[in-house]
Structure 1
Amino acid sequence: MNWSKVSVFAFIIFYGVAGVVHFVNPEVYFPVIPDWLGDPAIINYLAGATELLVAILVIFNRTRKTAGLLAVAMLLAFTISHIYFIMNDSCAGDLCLDPWIGWARLIVIHPLLIWWAYGVSKYGGARL
């Protein structure tokens, strides 16, 4: 089994689904978007559109490197929301989680997603 292909296919599904959720269920994201960033709806839809763009670009060999690097940049920008979530007592609106979950997302899961995106960017010329 070619693990780089599996990784790319999983990446496409992960970011495709994540992007769609921003449009289907946008109110989930509004509470973790700081007011000082601007209109939460616009920020949310831009994030969703970017995730969908990443999912599409990674399909093609010629644009896979760009997709991976765009995902890294997007994930770095999302760090703001992770910190904002922690600063709000690990609550997003009415949904509150144990603080360790917010910290685990910030210092474990988020860096792993960045590492995955960077790894996918290195498969630039690999054919699927």
Structure 2
Amino acid sequence: MNWNTDVPKVRVWLITLFFLLGGAAHFLIVERFVSVMPAYLPWPRELVLISGVFELLGAVGVLFACTRRWAGCGLVLLCLAVFPANLNMALHAERFNEIPAWLLYLRLPLQALIILHIVWATELLRWRGKVSA
């Protein structure tokens, strides 16, 4: 295994797989996603479908070097945008009996880790040069 070439590819493919599956799920189980939307957000069905489209676009975008950083930026923003739905699930765990409450709360810090992985894998914060001592 070449750590300089293989590991970055694995990181990108993990993001692609994660968001391809998630994006597709937005279209396959729409009502499930609608049920987790906070009540204060208008047009929940449309927002679910739009977020699914952006997940799919981001998943494909990270595969290409020329769009990787833009796609990474978009996926980070998308993760921040869907955070209220994840928080809503945790705060109203009684509505989601099939999922243990601890798992709903665990999703919140895991989302931060997903964001960090996106930033790392898409080199959103790459160093421009060497730091001299």
TM tier relative to shorter chain: 0.7 to 0.9
Question: How far does residue 123 in structure 1 lie from its aligned partner after superposition?
Answer: 7.5
Normalising to structure 2: TM-score of the pair? Answer: 0.83
Normalising to structure 1: TM-score of the pair? Answer: 0.86
Question: How far does residue 69 in structure 1 lie from its aligned partner after superposition?
Answer: 1.1
Question: How far does residue 115 in structure 1 lie from its aligned partner after superposition?
Answer: 0.7
Deviation readout 1:73-110 (Å, 9 max, x if unpaired): 11111110111112213534xx4433211111112x11
RMSD value over aligned CA atoms?
Answer: 1.8
In the alignment, the residues of structure 2 paired with residue 90 and residue 51 of structure 1 have an alpha-carbon distance, to the nearest angstrom, of 28
Partner of 1:46: 50
Larger radius of gyration: 2
SS at match of 2:69: helix
The letter of the residue matching 2:87 is I
Partner of 2:102: 100
How many residue pairs get aligned? The number is 121
Identical counterparts, % of pairs: 26
Structure 2 residue 110 is matched with structure 1 residue 114: no
Partner of 1:76: 80
8 Å Cα contact 1:13-1:55 kept in structure 2: yes
Deviation readout 1:12-44 (Å, 9 max, x if unpaired): 121111111111111110111112111111010
Deviation readout 1:43-92 (Å, 9 max, x if unpaired): 10011000001011111101100111111111111110111112213534
Unaligned runs of 5+ residues in structure 2 are: 126-133
